Amino acid sequence: LNVAKPIETLSGALRARAHSDVTAELDAAIARYLGDLAPAAQAAAQSLAETRSALAEAVARETLRLGSEKARLEALLSDVPAGVILCSADHALVFYNSPAADVIGAGRGGGLEAGLDRKLFDYLHAAPLRHAYDRLLATADLDAVSDLLCTTVAGARVLAARMRLLGDGAAGYVLTLRDITGDMAQEAAREAMLEGALDSLRRPSATLATLVEVLPEGALPAPMQAALKDEVARLSQAVTQFGMAREAGQSEATVLPQTRASDLAEGLVARLASLGIAAEAQTADLLLRCNGFELITLLSALAQKVLGANAVADLRLTIDEEDSGAAIRLSWQGGRVGVGLLDQWLAQPFSPDAPDRPARSVLAAHATEIWPEAMGDRAALCLPIRQARRAVARPKPVARKVVYDFELLSPARTDKLAEARLDRLTYVVFDSETTGLNPRQGDEIVQLAAVRIVNGRRVEGEVFDTLVNPGRKIPAVSTDLHGITDAMVADAPPVVDVIRRFHKFAEGAVLIAHNAPFDMEFLRRVEGQIGLTFDMPVLDTVLLSAVIYGQHEVHSLDALTHRLGITIPEEARHTALGDTLATAEAFLKLVPMLAGRGHATFGAVLTEVRKHGRLLKDLN
């Protein structure tokens, strides 16, 4: 009785404290016959209460911090001048900022007010947006973007938009919007003014040229008549050059997105397939300056007209590079289309969704024309695109993030470097690849990379990474190590330009490198040429490793990362950026280890690393 009942009572009291917020001390009297069990139970209960209290305080602090950051981000997004809309996979509004609400017509002219979970197509015409979304889904590339033009449903606004899929497994997309209605109106007015001015000059110029040619001999003194002919010829030439310059600049001023030729071709083939029309496509790897949706709609409509007017076989689309632009050709086996018939087609609406827009308006928006032509035994329609360039493989991107650290607003920062905590400083971690190991004998940098660390975390979007033209041959033994060839650096910027840019990137930060003296010598030897000095503080992860692990250990980058559990992918090893990222990760793991040894400030760490300076002499 003196044991069983007190144990049962004590068990109930402990359960109460384990499963509820009871914090009162245990009644020692109920367990006076249980020896040390009662004090142990009381200690456990008190520890639990203290842990809960500390956890609650930590959660409250973190909740307050997250709430504060959320409010700041909301304020920032509200002030961003571009409209930003987040949509679900079924095109429902999940997020929008104030400029987005304005640009899609909320509260204006009786337009529908913006609202969460409303369909985007309540505000914007659906077709170009659906086309862009389907194209992005087909690419399965989260780094791909689709630039497009779209119009509002309620008003007459034209919007330049960029669509990007959401990452992290979320279905949906982000849409940024910019109202270009005014820009297009100004451009139209400018074009009308230039066209009027050109017409008013062409006719008098042509008339003058004709009159001068038929002017009778002797009507004017010979010197005067010759001078008049010269001046009229100059005037005619100036008018012609003015017309050519206007024509050349016409498409440059037009606001058109870039579209991959392959995307346009695939879109047209898919559109025709949905209509039961088979077509093939062959394209050069080009980026076209055009409204892909409108061209697909126009070419689809023309293909249907061709099929209706002729017995057609083997419909084919080709897009080839021509001069500074490209040529789109829709060809087939069958009869040719006459110019008169083509003009009739172009006078008709190019899409049922735009009954007031003739097909020719699409050509006008692209400052181009379309004409029939023969391609051997095939007939074709040719549509030139004024601006195009070769597409290059999209580089692996630096992570896209909204970059922020609101802790930088905190006043708890010091201007005295020696007293500053390591986790409160700004760092630039860098690495270089070179032609060899002897800068004093002419070796140079062939690749330079760096990342920034702010307030104890690496800033994902702030990266410096470039190949460098060393101005000399790269030895084969060096290429075997880092994989960089003479051909790869042939068009790269020279050493002086790169190091000047790097100095700007590193300004105001502490430099970090693995075996820093080696890399620093390459930087400092061009200080005279760039007119700048690398006088910022430097930390070396070789020495930091020695502070933690002792001089007897191996302190190579491979050994250090292995000890810290950091994996360097084989393809990234001995690349400047790969080694930089590994060094940055190693440094971030060393910082708390240094603090645990009592070296939390820059000054304290500097005192320690000076004890291991001989390591660097041995390495170099």
Asked if residue 252 has pLDDT above 70, the reply is no
- Residue 148: its H or E element: strand 145-151
User: Which parts of 391-456 are beta strand (E)?
Assistant: 426-434, 445-454
Asked if residue 401 has pLDDT above 60, the reply is no
Asked if residue 117 has pLDDT above 70, the reply is yes
Q: Report pLDDT for 125.
A: 81
Q: Report pLDDT for 51.
A: 83
Mean pLDDT of 250-269: 72
| CA distances to 296, 362, 380 from 370, in Å | 14, 11, 10
**Of 220, 253, 286, at which residue does a domain stop?**
253
Q: Report pLDDT for 183.
A: 67
Mean pLDDT of 144-168: 77
Instruction: Verify that 508 and 590 share a domain, yes or no.
Output: yes
Mean pLDDT of 265-287: 86
Is 401 within the bounds of a domain? Answer: no
Asked if residue 382 has pLDDT above 90, the reply is yes
Q: Report pLDDT for 115.
A: 72
Q: Which pair of structure tokens corresponds to residue 341?
A: 């018939």
Q: How confident is the model at residue 398 (pLDDT cuts 50, 70, 90)?
A: very low
Instruction: Verify that 419 and 353 share a domain, yes or no.
Output: no
Asked if residue 296 has pLDDT above 50, the reply is yes
More confident residue, 578 or 611: 578
Asked if residue 367 has pLDDT above 50, the reply is yes
Asked if residue 353 has pLDDT above 80, the reply is no
Q: How confident is the model at residue 537 (pLDDT cuts 50, 70, 90)?
A: very high
506 close to 531: Cβ distance less than 8 angstroms: no
SS3 readout for 288-310 = EECCHHHHHHHHHHHHHHHHHHC
| CA distances to 143, 207, 214, 224 from 217, in Å | 73, 18, 9, 12
Q: Report pLDDT for 604.
A: 92
Instruction: Verify that 493 and 375 share a domain, yes or no.
Output: no
445 close to 522: Cβ distance less than 8 angstroms: yes
Is 399 within the bounds of a domain? Answer: no
Q: Report pLDDT for 395.
A: 43
Instruction: Verify that 460 and 589 share a domain, yes or no.
Output: yes
Q: Report pLDDT for 108.
A: 43
Asked if residue 590 has pLDDT above 90, the reply is yes
**Of 76, 97, 118, at which residue does a domain stop?**
76
Domain count, the chain: 5
Q: Which pair of structure tokens corresponds to residue 104?
A: 């899609």
Answer positive or negative: Cα dihedral of 245, 248, 249, 254.
positive
Asked if residue 354 has pLDDT above 50, the reply is yes
Is 312 within the bounds of a domain? Answer: yes
Instruction: Verify that 380 and 415 share a domain, yes or no.
Output: no
Mean pLDDT of 152-175: 78
Q: How confident is the model at residue 144 (pLDDT cuts 50, 70, 90)?
A: confident
Q: Report pLDDT for 371.
A: 94
Instruction: Verify that 265 and 236 share a domain, yes or no.
Output: no
Q: Report pLDDT for 105.
A: 66
For the stretch 554-575, pLDDT in tens is 888 888 888 888 876 665 566 8
Is 69 within the bounds of a domain? Answer: yes
Q: How confident is the model at residue 400 (pLDDT cuts 50, 70, 90)?
A: very low
Q: Report pLDDT for 399.
A: 45
Is 612 within the bounds of a domain? Answer: yes
What is d(CA 397, CA 563) in angstroms, rounded to the nearest whole number?
Answer: 29
Least confident of 147-156, 244-253, 464-473: 244-253
Instruction: Verify that 443 and 540 share a domain, yes or no.
Output: yes
- In this structure, how many other beta carbons lie within 10 angstroms of the beta carbon of residue 177? 23
Most confident range, picked from 235-244, 414-423, 456-465: 456-465
Asked if residue 601 has pLDDT above 70, the reply is yes
Q: Report pLDDT for 93.
A: 86
Q: Report pLDDT for 615.
A: 56
What is d(CA 598, CA 605) in angstroms, rounded to the nearest whole number?
Answer: 9
Range of the domain at 479: 406-619
For the stretch 44-55, pLDDT in tens is 877 888 887 888
Q: Are strands 445-454 and 158-165 parallel, antiparallel or unpaired?
A: unpaired
Classify 554 as helix, strand or coil: coil
Within 8 A by CB and 6+ apart from 340, the residues are none
Q: How far from chain centre, in Å, is Cα 239?
A: 43
Alpha-carbon torsion, ordered 260, 264, 270, 275, to 10 deg: 170
Q: Report pLDDT for 109.
A: 45
For the stretch 512-526, pLDDT in tens is 999 898 999 999 999
Domain CATH for 108 = 3.30.450.20
What is d(CA 457, CA 454) in angstroms, rounded to the nearest whole number?
Answer: 6
Is 397 within the bounds of a domain? Answer: no
Instruction: Verify that 429 and 563 share a domain, yes or no.
Output: yes
SS3 readout for 462-518 = EEEEEECECCCCCCHHHHHHHCCCHHHHCCCCEHHHHHHHHHHHHCCCEEEECCHHH
167 close to 239: Cβ distance less than 8 angstroms: no
Mean pLDDT of 419-438: 92
Asked if residue 369 has pLDDT above 80, the reply is yes
More confident residue, 119 or 448: 448
**Of 116, 145, 180, at which residue does a domain stop?**
180
Average per-residue pLDDT for the chain: 81
What is d(CA 149, CA 147) in angstroms, rounded to the nearest whole number?
Answer: 7
Q: Which pair of structure tokens corresponds to residue 126?
A: 């659906």
Instruction: Verify that 561 and 589 share a domain, yes or no.
Output: yes
Asked if residue 86 has pLDDT above 90, the reply is no
Q: Report pLDDT for 292.
A: 81
